[in-house]
Structure 1
Amino acid sequence: MNLKKVSLLIVLLLVADQALKIWIKTHLCLDEAITVFPDWFQLRFIENNGAAFGMHIASRGGFDWGKLLLGLFRLAMAGAIGWGLVRLVRRGDAPRGVIVGAAMILAGAVGNILDSALYGVLFSESTPMTVARFGGSYAPPMMGKVVDMFYFPLFRWEGVPRLLSFLVDGRGYFFGAIFNLADAYISVAVVYLILFQRRFFNSADSVF
Structure 2
Amino acid sequence: MRPYRRMLVLAAGVLLVDQATKFWATSALSDGESITVIPGLIRLRLLLNPGAAFSTGTGVTWVFTLAAAAAVAVILLVGRRLRSRAWTFVLGGLLGGATTHLLDRLFRPPAFAQGHVVDFIDYGGLFVGNVADIVLTVGCAFLLLLSLRDVPLAGVPGKGLPSA
Decide: shared fold, TM above 0.5: yes
Aligned partner of 1:182 in structure 2 is 132
Aligned partner of 1:38 in structure 2 is 39
CA–CA distance in structure 1, aligned partners of residues 141 and 162 of structure 2: 19
CA–CA distance in structure 1, aligned partners of residues 36 and 22 of structure 2: 17
Greater shift, 193-202 or 143-152, is seen at 193-202
| Residue 161 of structure 2 corresponds to residue 206 of structure 1 | yes
Could you list the structure 1 runs, at least 4 aligned residues long, displaced by more than 3 angstroms after superposition.
none
Give the alignment's TM-score, normalised by structure 2: 0.82
Structure 1: unaligned runs, 5 residues or longer: 57-65, 121-138, 154-168, 170-175
- Whichever of the two has the greater Rg, that structure is 1
- Work out which structure has the larger RCO, using CA pairs closer than 8 Å and 6 or more positions apart in sequence: 2
Percent pairwise identity: 27
| Residue 122 of structure 2 corresponds to residue 151 of structure 1 | yes
Question: Contact 1:116/1:143 (CA < 8 Å) preserved in 2?
Answer: yes
Question: Contact 1:35/1:42 (CA < 8 Å) preserved in 2?
Answer: yes
Aligned-partner SS, 1:84: helix
CA–CA distance in structure 2, aligned partners of residues 152 and 105 of structure 1: 21
CA change 1:31–1:197 in 2 (3 A) is: farther
Question: Contact 1:108/1:186 (CA < 8 Å) preserved in 2?
Answer: yes
Q: Deviations over 1:94-115 (max 9, x none)?
A: x211110011111111111111
Between Structure 1 and Structure 2, how many residues are aligned?
155
Equivalent residue runs for 1:4-153 within 5 Å: 4-29=5-30, 31-50=32-51, 53-56=56-59, 66-88=60-82, 92=83, 95-120=84-109, 139-153=110-124
Question: Contact 2:7/2:91 (CA < 8 Å) preserved in 1?
Answer: no
Q: Deviations over 1:137-172 (max 9, x none)?
A: xx221121111111222xxxxxxxxxxxxxxx4xxx
